[in-house]
Amino acid sequence: MADTNCLISAIIKDSVARKILLNRKYNFISPDVCILEIIEHKEEISQKSLLEGNNFESVFNRILSSVTIVPVNNYDDRIIEASLMIKDPDDVAFMALAIALNADGIWSNDKEFLKQDRVKVYPTGQLMNPH
């Protein structure tokens, strides 16, 4: 599972995050709310990435093609449980989806996820150099 910040990093520049997302070794999933969050910050992401119009859409679609987007009805029954574990409302859907699908873990550099012990958290460095 990939959190929104990892997806945004991959859109902004051809970086470690993009290489990880495009690596066929991993099968990433994300809750549908990540799309809304990216669209909400599209202007800021476009400015940081220096991508405009069709170029932004092209990179955005390429990144999204590496991620299975899961609709809320597949994890909504875990939202309350997840909200008791994660205080940041932006992260609750990720935790709920991870619990609902019994995911291997969440790829995130967000320290909020480290405050729980139910789902393993993989920072970028660990995915780039797996053991």
Q: pLDDT by residue (tens digit) across 117-130? A: 999 999 998 887 65
Q: Taking 90 as the threshold, does the pLDDT of residue 109 lie above it?
A: yes
The alpha carbon of residue 75 and the mean position of all alpha carbons in its chain are separated, in whole angstroms, by 15
Reported as a single tens digit per residue, the pLDDT across 51-97 is 777 888 899 999 999 999 999 999 999 999 999 999 899 899 999 99
Q: Report, in this order, helix, strand and coil percent for the chain, each rounded to 5.
A: 60, 10, 30
Question: Model confidence at 103, in pLDDT bands (50, 70, 90)?
Answer: very high
Domain that includes residue 43, residue range: 4-128
23: left (phi over 0), alpha (psi -120 to 50) or beta: beta
**Nearest C-alpha neighbor of 38 from the set 54, 57, 53:** 57
What is the residue-averaged pLDDT of the chain? 91
Number of domains in the chain: 1
Q: Taking 90 as the threshold, does the pLDDT of residue 24 lie above it?
A: no
Give the pLDDT of residue 72: 96
Give the pLDDT of residue 74: 97
As a whole number of angstroms, the distance between CA 96 and CA 82 comes to 5
Give the pLDDT of residue 50: 85
> Hey, is 17 helix, strand or coil?
helix
Give the pLDDT of residue 53: 73
The pTM for the full model equals 0.89
What would the two tokens of residue 99 be? 């619990």
8 A C-beta contact, residue 105 and residue 127 = no
What are the CA-CA distances from residue 66 to residues 8, 78, 126 (Å)? 13, 25, 19
Give the pLDDT of residue 129: 67
CATH number for the domain spanning 77: value is: 3.40.50
